[in-house]
């Protein structure tokens, strides 16, 4: 009967040992937590930078498209001016 009772309390004892070890030695856990928080903050910064770079790239692409269209219009106008019998 005594063995049965000790078996029933062994999960509680194991939990007590785990809790005691975490409470006794919190420094490694706190260091790990601080490291993870720092990584998360860096990831947020990187995500923000990527978002800003994508927006900038989209603006540059739009500007490039507009310049290219303007150049094509100029080329067409020059061709039309050089073609005899056309009016501008």
Q: Which of 50-54, 57-61, 80-84 has the lowest mean pLDDT?
A: 80-84
- pLDDT score of 4 more than 50: no
Rounded to two decimals, the pTM is: 0.54
Model pLDDT, residue 50: 98
Contact (CB, 8 A) for 80 and 88: yes
Q: Please identify which residue in the block is written with the tokens 């809790």.
A: 19
Cα-based distances in Å from 65 to 30, 61, 79: 52, 6, 21
* d(C-alpha 72, C-alpha 88), whole Å: 16
Q: Please identify which residue in the block is written with the tokens 């500007």.
A: 63
- pLDDT score of 71 more than 60: yes
- pLDDT score of 10 more than 80: no
Tell me how many degrees the CA angle 70-76-82 measures, rounded to the nearest 5.
Answer: 140
Contact (CB, 8 A) for 75 and 69: no
Model pLDDT, residue 45: 98
Model pLDDT, residue 7: 56
């Amino acid at each position: 009967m005594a063995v049965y009772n000790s078996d029933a309390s062994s999960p509680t004892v194991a939990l007590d040992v785990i809790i005691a070890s975490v409470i006794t030695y919190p420094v490694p856990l706190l260091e790990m937590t601080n490291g993870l928080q720092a990584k998360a903050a860096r990831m947020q910064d990187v995500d923000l930078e990527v978002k800003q770079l994508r927006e900038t790239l989209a603006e540059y692409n739009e500007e490039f498209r507009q310049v290219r269209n303007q150049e094509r219009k100029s080329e067409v106008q020059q061709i039309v001016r050089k073609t005899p019998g056309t009016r501008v």
